[in-house]
Amino acid sequence: MSTSIKTWISAFRLRTLPLALSSIAMGSFLAAAQGKFNGLIFFLCCLTTIFLQVLSNLANDYGDSVNGADHDERKGPMRAVQSGAISARTMRNAMFLFVVLSLISGISLLLVSFGLNYQLLIVFFGLGVLSIVAAIAYTVGKRPYGYAGLGDVSVLIFFGLVGVMGSYYLFTQTFSAELILPALTCGLFSVGVLNINNVRDIESDKKAGKNSIPVRIGKKNAAIYHWMLLIGGISTSLIYSGIHYKSIFQFVFLITLPLLLKIGFAVAKKPSLELDPYLKQMALSTLLFVLLFGVGLLA
C-alpha cells in the first residue's frame, strides 16, 4: 500500500464509521420490527451515510487546519492538512468528490424508497442537502458553527433524530412520535463521542478560539455533562422498551452498561491527553448497544 493511500485512509478516519452507521442500524431495526425492511434501501442508507461521514471528516481536517485548531500542541492524531501530507487544495477537491458521491447515492436512495413521489423527494432531498451543509460548515467557513459550541446540537439532530427517524421513514413511509426515544439514544451517545473529542482537545481548542462545550464549562463540568449524555441515552431506550414490552430479552442492550460506565469514569478521571482511545470505544459501544437493542426488538 502506498503512502498516499495510507494518508487518505487516515484522513477518512474510518473509526468514526461505526458511530455514523448506528443511527441507520437503529432506524432499520425499528422498521424491521414493523415488517418493512428492504435490503437495497438499507445498503443505500449505509453507503450515503458513509460518504457523508467521510465528507465531514475531510471537512473537519481542512477546516481545523485552516482555522488554527489543529496545531503542534493538539493532543489528538496528526491531521493530513496540518502535517502537510495533503495540501489544502487537494483536500478541497476530495471534499467536492464526496459531496458528489453523497448526492448520487442519496438521490438513488430516494428514488428506490419513494419512486416518483415528488413531494417526498423534495423534502428528503432538502434534508440531504442540509446534511451536506452541516458536515462542511462545522469547521469550514468564516463562522463555522463548531467553533461556537453548536456541534453538540448538530450531532444530536443529524446522528439522532434525522438519522434514525429519517431512515425509518425511508423503509415505512410512516412516522410515530415514540421513535424520538431511540433516536435520542443514538443522538445522545453520538454527542458523547464528540464530547470526548472536545475534552481531549480542550487546551488546544482554547488557544484556537474554538469554544466547544468543554471549553465553555471546563473539564470537570464536561465530565458531568458526559454522564448526563450516557444516562439520557440509556433511559430513552429503557422507556421505549418499557412501552413496547413483550419479554425481558428486549433489555439485552443493558449488557453494554459496563462499557459505558468505564468510558464515563475515564472522562471524569483521566487527563485529557489520555482520552483518545475512548473515542473509538464510545463509537463501538454505541454500535453494540444499537445492535443488541435491535436483536431484543426482533426477538
Contact in structure between 256 and 292 (CB atoms under 8 Å): yes
pLDDT in tens, 107-158: 999 999 999 999 999 999 999 999 999 988 888 877 788 888 888 999 999 9
Give the number of other CB atoms < 10 A from CB of residue 87: 11
The pLDDT, as a whole number, for residue 269 is: 94
Between 13 and 29, the more confident residue is 29
Which of 291, 283, 74 is CA-nearest to residue 192? 283
What percent of the chain is predicted at pLDDT more than 70?
95
66-80, 120-134, 209-223, 282-296: range with lowest mean pLDDT: 66-80
From CA 186, how far away is CA 173, in angstroms rounded?
A: 21
- DSSP state at residue 74: -
pLDDT in tens, 14-58: 888 999 999 999 999 999 999 999 999 999 999 999 999 999 999
User: Who contacts 165 (Cβ-Cβ below 8 Å, separation ≥6)?
Assistant: 27, 175, 179, 180, 183
From CA 97, how far away is CA 101, in angstroms rounded?
A: 6
From CA 267, how far away is CA 274, in angstroms rounded?
A: 9
The pLDDT, as a whole number, for residue 5 is: 84
Contact in structure between 2 and 72 (CB atoms under 8 Å): no
The pLDDT, as a whole number, for residue 6 is: 84
H helices of 244-275, where? 257-269
